Structure 1
Amino acid sequence: MDLKKISAQVLYNIRKRRGYNAKASEQHIAATSLSGSRYSSLKQLHIPTIIIHGKSDPFIPFKHGIKCAQLIPNSDILLIEGMGHDIPKEFASPILKAIFENIKKVNTPAFSNFTG
């Protein structure tokens, strides 16, 4: 357990996100366990999709991101080494680039009839 890193994250949440909810992780886990798997629904997505996942995410293992990318047709995945669950400034550029590239795919002939 890296206490320095955890402390920095807590301070970030307090200063930048206007608070820190110590129960948020527990509540998130409870909610996702009650809602069940969404894997079968992901196969029904037929729009360009980018999955962005930090390889150091302490809440959701990046293997789940890989699984989602395998299930969603026309999806791409961006795995970011050293990124956790939040998005630090240093990763904004590659993330924005991936999002913009994904948006461009919607304007291709394959998706010209897409209505949402």
Structure 2
Amino acid sequence: MQLEQMNLEQLQTEEKKLLSTHQQFQTSALKLDLTRGKPSAEQLTLSEGMEGLLAGKMIHEDGTDLRNYGGADGIKEARQLGGDMLGLPAEEVMVGDHTSLTIMYLYLLHAFYHGVQGP
């Protein structure tokens, strides 16, 4: 039965059921990473033939699996390397997978509709 067809008593029963289910999820201590397109540890294991490149050190001290994309701001050491190459502080460098394409698209979209400042 759809919610809009339920009477008050049915809605209250449904609410209790949903709250109970929600409570079970909260107490289950699940640690889900729902990042889109991020391969599982099992998938990453497929590339262990290249493990020698990292000498077995695939988990960063902050817990990030270095075989993957890293966090939202990228792998710290990669940002530092980029900063060294560009003569910038690491904080001003973005490191990601296809993120640069998104940034360029958004910049051009903004420029098209709002213009850009400067010469």
Given the two structures, how large is their TM-score scaled by the length of structure 2?
0.28
Given the two structures, how large is their TM-score scaled by the length of structure 1?
0.28
Between Structure 1 and Structure 2, whose CA radius of gyration is higher? 2
